[in-house]
């Protein structure tokens, strides 16, 4: 059975290096805030041309802490999309802020032409979601944010390494939020996240918020800074063990992305000239293909036929956020026709760096045969 994603082959390739670094880390006596974390934060920020960066407990925490650091909460509104993973909206809801959904365009990304209609005097921020591995139109979003004095929190969970006009995602907004969940472009073996920013005061505030509001290494504080909170914060730390694993994988990210793009090109070549809607790389964008998402109105039948051929796929996502019980009664959800249409027909083909090319060709040829048999 061909799975949509697997980490086991990657682990076999990197096992000796990972175990060596984990063993060294455990022998160091540091479990949190040690050399591995410090190294990772600096290298990840430098690799993506970020001025400052803070590693946190998860991608969800990255969004939540960004909102808190920007003083967004009760009485405020945040604009984002319904075609996203639950954490995008969960983070907003956790602050007490309200959500305004904007429909997506043909690339499954926020439709920048529809953002201004959702702005009110309560709107404080926009969260553009760089979904499936491709950047939103950050030029337009930056222009709108400047016009209305709005904050921008980039959701980069699925797009680490993606570019817009030759700039990395996460470098445009007040903050950029990343996830190191195992399925991501750079995935650990557990949860982890990262917040990028170009603001030093914001960087310092986020560092406090991730550790109970404590100002670490504050020599001016007459109190024992290990047990003194300067403001209300939370616990969102990434362990030295996760940092040790990520430090082994980080130098290989470009290789991972290149392999993803090669797999995507193979799918595109074999599946062209069918009635399947294929992903496209937008002008001025570098797509990293976290997912290879396609659309067909007969999705469910196609998935059944693929399963008979021992090919499994994912649906990202079958339920728009505004249709979920947790959120459907609370938020304005008008004019989301594309979001609702796509949710009924999108699915993701297997794609990860260690997927063998003969398997990629096999998947694509079987899918093409299924499609051509439809009348």
pLDDT value, residue 329:
73
Per-residue pLDDT tens digits for 252-284: 999 999 999 999 999 999 999 999 999 999 999
Q: Reply yes or no on whether the pLDDT at 244 is more than 90.
A: yes
Q: What is the pTM of this model?
A: 0.96
Give percent of the chain with pLDDT exceeding 90.
90
Q: How far apart, in whole angstroms, are the C-alpha atoms of residue 145 and residue 124?
A: 9
Q: What is the pLDDT confidence band of residue 375, given thresholds at 50, 70 and 90?
A: low
- 3-state class percentages of the chain: helix first, strand second, coil last, to nearest 5: 40, 15, 40
pLDDT value, residue 222:
53
Helices and strands of the chain, counted as H and E runs: 11, 12
The partner residues of 249 in beta bridges, in order of sequence, read none
pLDDT value, residue 221:
59
HSE-up (13 A, CA, CB side) for residue 162: 36
Q: How far apart, in whole angstroms, are the C-alpha atoms of residue 355 and residue 350?
A: 8
Per-residue pLDDT tens digits for 137-160: 999 999 999 999 999 999 999 999
Write the class of the CATH domain 8-251. alpha beta
Per-residue pLDDT tens digits for 182-235: 999 999 999 999 999 999 999 999 999 999 988 876 556 555 567 788 889 999
Structural domain spans, the chain = 8-251, 252-372
Per-residue pLDDT tens digits for 168-192: 999 999 999 999 999 999 999 999 9
CATH architecture for segment(s) 252-372: Alpha-Beta Complex (3.90)
Both tokens of 164, joined, read: 């817009």
Per-residue pLDDT tens digits for 301-344: 999 999 999 999 999 999 999 999 998 876 666 789 999 999 99
Single out the residue of 192, 190, 198, 222 nearest to residue 210, CA to CA: 192
Q: Looking up tokens 């304005």, which residue turns up?
A: 332
């Amino acid at each position: 059975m061909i799975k949509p994603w697997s980490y086991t082959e990657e682990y076999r390739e990197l096992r000796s290096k990972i175990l060596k670094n984990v063993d060294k880390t455990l022998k160091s006596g540091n479990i949190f805030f040690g050399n591995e974390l410090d190294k990772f934060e600096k290298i990840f920020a430098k690799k993506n041309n970020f001025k400052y960066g803070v590693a946190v407990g998860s991608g969800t925490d990255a969004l939540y802490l960004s909102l808190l650091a920007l003083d967004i909460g009760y009485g405020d509104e945040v604009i984002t999309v319904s075609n996203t993973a639950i954490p995008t909206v969960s983070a907003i809801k956790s602050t007490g802020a309200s959500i305004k959904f904007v429909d997506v365009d043909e690339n499954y990304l926020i439709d920048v032409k529809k953002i201004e209609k959702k702005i009110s005097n309560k709107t404080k921020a926009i969260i553009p979601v760089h979904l499936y591995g491709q950047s939103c139109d950050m030029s337009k979003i930056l222009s709108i944010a400047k016009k209305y004095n709005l904050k921008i929190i980039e959701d980069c969970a699925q797009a680490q390494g993606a570019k817009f006009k030759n700039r990395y995602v996460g470098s445009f907004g007040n903050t950029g939020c990343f996830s190191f969940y195992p399925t991501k472009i750079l995935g650990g073996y557990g949860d982890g996240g990262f917040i990028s920013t170009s603001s030093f005061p914001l960087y310092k505030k986020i560092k406090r918020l991730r550790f109970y509001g404590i100002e670490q290494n504050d020599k001016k504080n007459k109190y024992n800074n290990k047990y003194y909170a300067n403001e209300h914060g939370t616990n969102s730390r990434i362990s030295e063990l996760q940092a040790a694993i990520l430090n082994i994988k980080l130098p290989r990210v470009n290789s991972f992305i290149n392999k993803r793009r090669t797999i995507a090109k193979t799918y595109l070549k074999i599946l062209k000239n069918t009635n399947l809607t294929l992903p496209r790389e937008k002008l001025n964008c570098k797509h990293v293909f976290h997912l290879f998402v396609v659309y067909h109105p007969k999705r469910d039948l196609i998935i059944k036929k693929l399963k008979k051929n021992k090919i499994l796929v994912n649906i990202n996502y079958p339920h728009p956020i505004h249709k979920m019980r947790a959120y459907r009664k609370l938020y304005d959800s008008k004019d989301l026709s594309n979001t609702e249409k796509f949710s009924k027909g999108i699915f993701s083909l297997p794609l990860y760096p260690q997927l063998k090319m003969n398997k990629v060709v096999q998947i694509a040829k079987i899918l093409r045969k299924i499609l051509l048999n439809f009348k």
